[in-house]
Amino acid sequence: MIFLKGGQYQQVLTLGSDHHTFLHFHYIACDLSSLDASEYLDSDNLVARLNLPLMCYNESQKVAIYAQAIKGLMTIESSITQQIKYIDFIDQYIELSMEEQKLYQMRYLKENSEGEQTMGHAQLLRDEGIQQGVQQGMQQGMEQGMQQGEVKLLLRQIDRKFGLVAVHIREKVEQADTDSLLRWADNILVAERVEDIFS
């Protein structure tokens, strides 16, 4: 039994009525908030990596914890549909502030002092996930669903790097074909302005 927040938990569960017990069992309790996140930073267990934000860590490590959770997701989970689903899970539980989001962008999405792209784990592996997802989608006849996933992921990346996505840009991305989406996904790595993505 996995508990998201710390506390005292009974390890026996009994279900029934005043006259009859229908189910009685003991369970193993796992309190995520008591686990040291540093022990799971490189785990190949997807559940552990997704739950890094719920484990115990120093507040100064928050952005690094987020980066490791995203890296684990993109490395371990090959389905782009699942990646999109679980990115939302990570975001919900870590709740990065605007300052922390900017710090993440600076550390993982910006160019370094030598002008080379320092790609964050999510950014670095996102394209691999999309390419794998597109191949799986074509094999399974799910091109439309995969394209919608690419649209959502690209809009999310634009929002993370440049702020709230304007309506006309959202419409442009939503109406784009797969080749354009992949080209724009590459362009966002080096774009200095949102307009550069579409050049």
Q: How far apart are CA 150 and CA 153, in angstroms?
A: 5
Q: How far apart are CA 68 and CA 47, in angstroms?
A: 13
Q: How far apart are CA 86 and CA 161, in angstroms?
A: 20
Q: Find the mean pLDDT for residues 160-189.
A: 87
Greater pLDDT, 133 or 175:
175
Q: Find the mean pLDDT for residues 188-196.
A: 86
Whether 184 and 197 have beta carbons less than 8 Å apart is answered as yes
Mean pLDDT of the chain: 80
Tell me, yes or no, if the pTM score tops 0.75: no
Residues across the chain: 199
